[in-house]
Amino acid sequence: MGYGIERIGGQGIWLSGAKIALDGMRAEAEWVCVSHAHADHVPRSRRLPVHATPATAALMRARGFTGPIEAIPFGQTFGSADLRITFFPAGHILGSALTLVESEAGRLLYTGDCRTPASPTSEGFDCPSHVDELITEATFSLPIYKWKPHADLAGQIATFARESLAAGAVPVFQAYNLGKAQEIMHILAQAGVPTAIHEAGFALCGIYESFGIPLGDYRKHEPGIIDGRALITPYPPNDGDPGRYRTAYVSGWAVLEKHRAASGADALIPLSDHLDFFELLALVERLGPRLTHITHTPNPDIVRHYLAARGLESRYLA
C-alpha cells in the first residue's frame, strides 16, 4: 500500500495509507505532526493532540494552542511497530522540522517550510541521505529567486540600522513576528544595536533565549519610546512623526522591486527563511527521491521542467 498523499486545508498533507496528518487535521488521523509554529502550519483546532519538537511545542503554547502536545526531540523515532516517524531540523525557524515517515511503503520526507543554509536562529539543517518520496513546498521556485550569502544580508541589516541611527532616524524592520523578527534581532545584537519589538513578537523572544539563541538588548515596543533602538514590527509604525522613520522591508519577496512601493519601504532586504530556487533543486538532487510532490509554487511547470532536466520525476500536489 502506498501513502495515499492528499492536500488538506491550506498547508496540510494527509497520508491516508498511514493515517498521518502533516500540518493539518483529519478526524481519522492516528498521528498529527506539526512541522513548525507558524499559524498556517498549525491545525485549525487548537485542542487537537499533536506531535512536534520541544521548541515548536513551546512556541505553539505561547500562541494559544491548548491541546495535548507530545514533544519529540530531533532524531528520536516514534510511531508503531510498522510505522516510524522521525523529526530532522529544517532550518526555517526555531523548532522547525522535516518529518521522515518510514514503513513498508518506503521512506517519505515532508519538508514543511525549510531553509538550507539554515537560519542562525534555528537548530540548523539536517536530512536523511536518501528518500523514496519527497513532499516539499516551493514558494520561491523561479530562477529570479537566488539569495545572497547570509553574511551579506546581515551586513545590509546592520548597516541600515547604524546609518539610520547616525542620521537621527529610527530604523524600522518590517518582518513577521515569529522567526524573521528574532533573526533580525540576533543580527543586530551581534552589531551592538539595541532593539524594540512589536508586543506579539516580544512574547516569543524568551522562548528563543531559553533554547540558547541570544537576542541582545531588546524590549517590548511602547509607542513613542523608541529613540536609540531599531524597531522590528510586521506593520509600519503609526506613532510619532512619520519623518523620523526609515523602513526596510525584510523578506524573500524583497527581491522584487514592486514591493518597495507596496510596502512604502526605503530599503528592500531579501532575507528569506525559505529555500531559493537553486537551493530547492540542490536539495531534491541530494535526497534523490523517485518522486517529488511539489506544493505552494508560483509556477509548477517551471520547477518540474528543471527537475526533469536533472532526471528527477515530480508532480504538482494541487
- pLDDT beyond 90 at 223: no
Grid cell digits, residue 231:
524597531
Give residue-wise pLDDT tens across range 185-198.
Answer: 999 999 999 999 99
pLDDT for res 259:
73
Query: What confidence score (pLDDT) does residue 203 get?
Result: 96
pTM, full prediction? 0.96
CB 79 within 8 A of CB 261: no
Residue 270 confidence class, pLDDT cut points 50, 70, 90: very high
End-to-end CA gap in the chain:
22
Phi/psi for 215 (5° steps) reads -120, 5
Q: Do domains 5-144+274-316 and 150-269 have the same CATH topology?
A: no
Res 258: pLDDT = 83
Residue 1 binned pLDDT confidence (cut-offs 50, 70, 90): low
Condensed to tens digits (0 to 9), the pLDDT of residues 100-153 reads 999 999 999 999 999 999 999 999 999 999 999 999 999 999 999 999 999 999
Structurally, what CATH architecture does the domain formed by 5-144+274-316 represent? 4-Layer Sandwich (3.60)
Which pLDDT band holds residue 240 (cuts at 50, 70, 90)? low
pLDDT digits (tens, 9 = 90+) for 205-222: 999 999 999 999 999 999
Give the mean pLDDT of 241-264.
Answer: 86
Q: Which amino acid, residue 192?
A: G
Give me the residue spans of the domains in the chain. Answer: 5-144+274-316, 150-269
Architecture of domain 150-269: 3-Layer(aba) Sandwich (3.40)
pLDDT bucket at 92, cuts 50 / 70 / 90:
very high
Contacts of 257 (CB under 8 A, 6+ apart): 268
Residue type at 39? A
Give percent helix, percent strand, percent coil of the chain, each to the nearest 5.
25, 25, 45
Question: Is residue 22 over pLDDT 60?
Answer: yes
Q: pLDDT band at 254, cuts 50/70/90?
A: very high
